Amino acid sequence: MNIAVGIIAAAASLFTAFGFFKAGRFKATSSREALLQAGFGWIEKIPFGIVRLIAWLEILGAIGIVVAPIGYFLGFDWAIWFAVAAAAGLALTMIGAMWVHAARGEAKYTLKMNLGLFFPAVIAAILWALLPAL
């Protein structure tokens, strides 16, 4: 049972990490104009430093959700809580994204993508939190 939960948690983590790393890297390396042309209209009215902060938080969360479980499986039991925190933080990021897109009237275009990253992050957070108890 422990192994199955670990495999499912790892799969959810890898899926989540891939999506957030890709999105974060794009936001971290692109200019404001490139992001606007790509459809990131939400960046029009916020300081560009906030966009970069979100990008780096996404990148760090993606790294944490993958690297922390490796530490757990190497015998560092405390490391699993970094994976839980990273997954929960990424899920909260998607709640914020859904809120912003809803306020801008873009939810019908972005909700599917937002939920596609939100649910794997929640699943990963729950499974990593349950793993030590199993």
Task: Find the mean pLDDT for residues 32-48.
Answer: 91
What average pLDDT does the segment 82-91 reach?
94
What pLDDT score was predicted for residue 83?
A: 92
pLDDT score of 102: 92
What's the CA gap between 20 and 92, in Å, rounded? Answer: 13
pLDDT on residue 125:
94
Q: Given this model, what pLDDT does residue 37 score?
A: 93
**Separation of alpha carbons 7 and 114, rounded Å:** 24
Inform me whether the pLDDT recorded for 1 exceeds 80. Answer: no
pLDDT of residue 48: 94
- Angle between helix 107-130 and helix 80-103 axes, rounded to 10 deg: 160
Residue 21 or 78, more confident: 21
Query: Residue 1 and residue 114: Cα distance in Å, rounded?
Result: 30
Per-residue pLDDT tens digits for 21-30: 999 999 999 9
- Is the separation of the CB atoms in 66 and 73 below 8 Å? no
Q: What percent of the chain has pLDDT over 90?
A: 68
**Is the Cβ–Cβ distance between 35 and 27 less than 8 Å?**
yes
pTM: 0.88
DSSP the chain: -HHHHHHHHHHHHHHHHHHHHHHHHHHHHS-HHHHHHTT-GGGTTS-HHHHHHHHHHHHHHHHHHHHHHHHHHTT-GGGHHHHHHHHHHHHHHHHHHHHHHHHTT-HHHHHHHHHHHHHHHHHHHHHHHHGGG-
- The pLDDT tens digits of the residues spanning 3-12 come to 888 889 899 9
